[in-house]
Amino acid sequence: MRQRLAILGSTGSIGRQTLGVVDHLPDRFEVVALAAGHNAELLQEQVDRYRPRLVSVADGCDPRTIQAPEVLSGAEGLEAVATMPEADIVVVATSGHSAIRPTLEAIRRGKTIALANKEAIVCAGEILVGEARRRGVEIRPVDSEHSAVWQCLSVRHQESEVDRVTLTASGGPFRDTPAAELATVTVEQAMAHPTWRMGSKVTVDSATLMNKGLEVIEAHWLFDLPYERIDTVIHPQSIVHALVSFADGSVVAHLAVPDMRLPIQYALTYPERPPAPHLRLDIAALGRLEFSPPDPERFPALELARAAGEAGSTYPTVLSSADEVAVAAFIAGRLGFTGIVDVVRAVLDRHQPAPGPLTLEAIAEADAWARREAETLIAATAR
């Protein structure tokens, strides 16, 4: 029987590549629900091609512009897609924070989660992973490094035998840029990722290395590892996606072409590996694979994120929300590149988490507060 997919963020980079995987394996998958933001034209094309029963658009996009059996909108629509009774697997590929509650509700209904969105797990990892464990629900990583760790961990081992995991980072377009030049780099330069074609927010995060910082927090929750056992290493070729070191000194690495269709396909077909001839790695043609430590002076985002992760509570939410506002301001030309991390640090410094256990309400409050603080700081910088 075909697996039935609900895709949150179908018009984005991951969403479109997920539909590419469906095209490649049409006998395995059926698309039953799609949610997008504002790209109504592309969503309609997807509806015409994949015939989902349920569709949703974000607030501000008129649902009447879409012709489908059922069209919803806003937060309720996104949640309806995530919890659609017919769906077996929910692909969470929206950008930003909107998928936190829909992902939790999907877990509560026993859906398998194919998780690309890292912001949800960064902000609410404790809640989402806790709920998934209690209900025996699988959260399958789509983010390339986490898919790689997941695959490395599939070698037979005891939990206590895992020494550490290492996430690779391309280093982004400014890997070799001197510190003095970083303040004046352009949006166009930041968008020119050396190895991956992705949405704009994650591309800028790769340039600051905030992406890797968010991924350290993501790894902490997905693999239940303390922060001191999660490393990062610069690897410009993006061929090795992660490595797992075991107690006996063995290091198991995952290598693949830098193409998201591979981790997406693995998350959808796990534990099977149907052929994907278009994703072959030509080992002999690789030449050199390089590795070096990240430079904390030029790329302070990495340590800032790690500290926010270690502080826990709503600090990761504040990190993520302030970063989202600062990245948007950078893209809009209202903030310099190095200003992104300055703003995030300043907002984190001012944060006072509410006492008590982490709840979705506390996350929403911290999110709104951090966005306001970040906007105020950016407006002051621009004056």
* Segment interacting with Mn ion (CB under 5 A) among 135-143, 190-198, 246-254, 316-324: 135-143
**18 versus 144: smaller Cβ distance to Mn ion:** 144
Between vectors from CA 53 to CA 48 and to CA 55, what angle results, nearest 5°? 75
**Position 170 contacts ligand DXP (CB under 6 A):** yes
Based on the shown chain and the rule CB under 6 A, indicate whether residue 377 belongs to the binding site for ligand NDP.
no
Tokens of 203: 């591309």
Q: Is 144 annotated as a binding residue?
A: yes
98 is in an annotated binding site: no
Q: Smallest distance from the beta carbon of 26 to ligand NDP, in angstroms? A: 22
Q: Reduce the secondary structure of the chain to three states and give it as a string.
A: CCEEEEEECCCCHHHHHHHHHHHHCCCCEEEEEEECCCCHHHHHHHHHHHCCCEEEECCCCCHHHCCCCEEEEHHHHHHHHHCCCCCCEEEECCCCCCCHHHHHHHHHCCCEEEECCHHHHHHHHHHHHHHHHHHCCCEEECCHHHHHHHHHCCCCCCHHHEEEEEEEECCCCCCCCCHHHHCCCCHHHHHCCCCCCCCHHHHHHHHHCHHHHHHHHHHHHHHCCCHHHEEEEECCCCCEEEEEEECCCCEEEEECCCCCHHHHHHHHHCCCCCCCHHHCCCHHHCCCCCCECCCCCCCCHHHHHHHHHHHCCCHHHHHHHHHHHHHHHHHCCCCCHHHHHHHHHHHHHHCCCCCCCCCHHHHHHHHHHHHHHHHHHHHHHHC
Does residue 212 interact with ligand DXP by CB under 6 A?
A: yes
Say whether 206 counts as a known binding-site residue: yes
Q: Which residues pair with 4 in a beta bridge?
A: 30
> Least Å distance between CB 93 and ligand DXP?
12
Query: In the complex, what is the shortest distance from the CB of residue 116 to ligand NDP, in angstroms, rounded to a whole number?
Result: 4
201 is in an annotated binding site: no
- Does 37 sit near ligand NDP (CB under 6 A)? yes
Least distance from C-beta 52 to ligand DXP, angstroms? 26
Q: Does residue 143 interact with Mn ion by CB under 5 A?
A: yes
Residues 86-125 vs ligand NDP: string with x where CB under 6 A? -------xxxx-x-----------------xxxx------
* Residue 130 interacts with which of Mn ion, ligand DXP, ligand NDP, none, CB < 5 to 8 Å by class: none
Single residue of 94, 117, 211, 314 touching ligand DXP by CB under 6 A: 211
Binding site for ligand DXP (CB under 6 A): 143-145, 169-170, 172, 196, 202, 206, 211-212, 260
Binding site for ligand NDP (CB under 6 A): 9-15, 35-39, 58, 78, 93-96, 98, 116-119, 143-144, 196, 198-199, 202, 260
Under the rule (CB under 5 A), what is the footprint of Mn ion? 143-145
- Annotated binding residues for 1-deoxy-D-xylulose 5-phosphate, written as ranges, equal 118, 144-145, 170, 193, 206, 211-212, 215
Which residue numbers belong to the known binding site? 11-14, 37, 39, 117-119, 143-145, 170, 193, 199, 206, 211-212, 215
Binding-site annotation: residue ranges for Mn(2+): 143, 145, 215
